[in-house]
Amino acid sequence: MKLELGNFYVKDIEFGDNTTYDDGVLTINKEEALEVVFKDKHITEADLRIVKPGDMVRLVPVKEAIEPRFRVGGGPVFPGVTGKLEQAGNGETRCLKDMSVLVVGKHWGGFQDGLIDMGGEGAKYTYFSSLKNVVLVADTDEEFEKREQQKKNHALRWAGMRLAEYLGEAVKDLEPEDKDTYELEPLTKRSEDVSDLPNVAIVMQPQSQMEEKGYNDLNYGWDTNRMLPTLMHPNEILDGAMISGSFMPCSSKWATYDFQNFPLITRLYEEHGKTINFVGVIMSNLNVALEQKERSALFVAQMAKSLGVDAAIVTEEGYGNPDADYIGCIVALEDAGVKTVGVSNEATGRDGGSQPLVTLDPKADALVSTGNVSELIKLPPMDEVIGELEALARDGLSGGWEDDEVLGSSVKEDGSIIMENNAMFCGDQIAGWSPKTMKEY
C-alpha cells in the first residue's frame, strides 16, 4: 500500500465570502460551513470561532479534534463513518496542516471532555494550543444525556467530521506544498537488506471498554468493543480508518487528529529500512472482564510471533482498568520472546506517591511515562471562555469537581481554575508527541 499525504501549511484562518485556500490563508464562508453542521437535525445551536496560538482564550468542554482533509478521487475522509466503506491508506489524501477543527459544547460537558488554553501558562499542557483552530461551539437536543456524566456526543462529533471534510475541499484542486509518502512492501517481498533488520511492530490499544455502542473508538465504523486484535497497515490509521470515541478521561484520549497523525507510527516509518523493519500495526483492544483481557493478549502475542516480530511498542489509550490489558499484553509479548516497550500515562495521585499503574509485572521493565493524570494544575482567569467554564466543575469532567473539602470548586468566582491534569484535552499525548520530560531527584 502506498499513501501520499499532500500537505498545505495553514499560516492564517479568516472568515470571508468563499471557502478557499490561498498562499497559506484558509478563508471560510461561515454561513456555508454552518449549513454543513446543521445537516443533523439534533444540532440546535452552532457557531464557528477562530482561535490561534497565544490568544488568551479558554475552551471547555472540548470534545474532539480533527484535521481537515480531502480524499483525491472522491470518497469519505473517514470510510465507514462519514460515507461508504472503502479501503483507507492507499492513494492520495490532501491535508490542512498546523490547524484543526475543535468541537466544543456550548453548555454541557461530561467525563470524557477537556479544556484547552490557547495562551498563558495553561497552553503548555496540550498540543492543540500550538495549532490554528476552527472551533465549532454547539449544542444539541440530546436531552437524554444532557446531565449524564458519560455522553456519546454523537451529533457534535459527527458535525465536526463533516466540517473537517468541508474545509478539506478548499484544497481539492490545488497542488500540495509538499508530500509525505508512506509505503511498506508486503512482508514476504521485502529486500534482504530490510528483512535482515530487527522486525518491529506497534501494538495499539484504543478505548473499547463500553459494551453499549456509541462510546468507543471506531475502526472503519466498527465498534472496537466487537473486534479482536487484528493486523492493520499503518497507512490505514494515518488515513482515516480510526475515529476517536467518547469514553476516556480526557488527558488520556486519542483525538481523531491524533490517529490521523500518530507520531509513534510516523517515527517508526522514519526508521524503516535504516535501523528497523517496520512490520505494521497490531490493533488490539481494551476489555472489562479478565478472560477477555487474557484472550486479547494471547492473540497479540501469537500474531507477533507468527510475523517474526523481534521488538514491539505497546501503547494504551487510558489508564486504570485498561492497565491490566496493557501490562498483560506486554507480559504475553515478552513470554513470546518479543522485546517490548510500553507507552502510557500513570495515575500516581495528587502527591505522586501512589502505584503508577493498576497492575505491574517484573517483565514490564521498559515503560515510558507521559505524565501523571492526577497532577494538580492551577490556572488564572482567561480573557475569554468559549463554551461554558462551569462545565468543568458541574458536569463531571474527569479532572474537575463541583466541591472538594480542601480545594473547593474547580471553578473559582474570579474565573481561575484548579483541576487535575485529567481534564486537559489530550494533554498526555500518549500518541507520541508529549512535550513533557522526566526529572530525576
Predicted local confidence at residue 390, as pLDDT: 97
Residue 134 CA, chain-centre distance (Å), reads: 17
Question: What span, in angstroms and rounded, lies between the C-alpha atoms of 193 and 199?
Answer: 12
From first to last of its 441 residues, the chain has per-residue pLDDT tens of 999 999 999 999 999 999 999 999 999 999 999 999 999 999 999 999 999 999 999 999 999 999 999 999 999 999 999 999 999 999 999 999 999 999 999 999 999 999 999 999 999 999 999 999 999 999 999 988 888 889 999 999 999 999 999 999 999 999 999 999 999 999 999 999 999 999 999 999 999 999 999 999 999 999 999 999 999 999 999 999 999 999 989 999 999 999 999 999 999 999 999 999 999 999 999 999 999 999 999 999 999 999 999 999 999 999 999 999 999 999 999 999 999 999 999 999 999 899 999 999 999 999 999 999 999 999 999 999 999 999 999 999 999 999 999 999 999 999 999 999 999 999 999 999 877 777 777
Question: What span, in angstroms and rounded, lies between the C-alpha atoms of 225 and 356?
Answer: 25
Locate 131 and state its grid cell: 495549532
Locate 249 and state its grid cell: 478521561
CB 215 within 8 A of CB 78: no
Locate 192 and state its grid cell: 534482504
Residue ranges per domain, the chain?
2-423
SS (H, E, C) 108-138: CCCCCCEEEECCCHHHHHCHHHHCEEEEEEE
The contacts of residue 342 (CB under 8 Å, 6+ apart) are 313, 314, 315, 316, 326, 327, 330, 364, 366, 367, 368
- CA geometry: angle at 330 spanning 223 and 208, to 5°? 15
Locate 374 and state its grid cell: 492526577
- What's 198's DSSP letter? P
The contacts of residue 171 (CB under 8 Å, 6+ apart) are 6, 8, 21, 70, 94, 96
For residue 56, the tally of other CB atoms under 10 A from its CB is: 15
Predicted local confidence at residue 435, as pLDDT: 73
Q: Roughly what angle, to the nearest 10 degrees, separates helices 290-306 and 322-335? A: 40
Question: What span, in angstroms and rounded, lies between the C-alpha atoms of 30 and 38?
Answer: 12
The contacts of residue 189 (CB under 8 Å, 6+ apart) are none
* SS3 (DSSP) at 402: coil
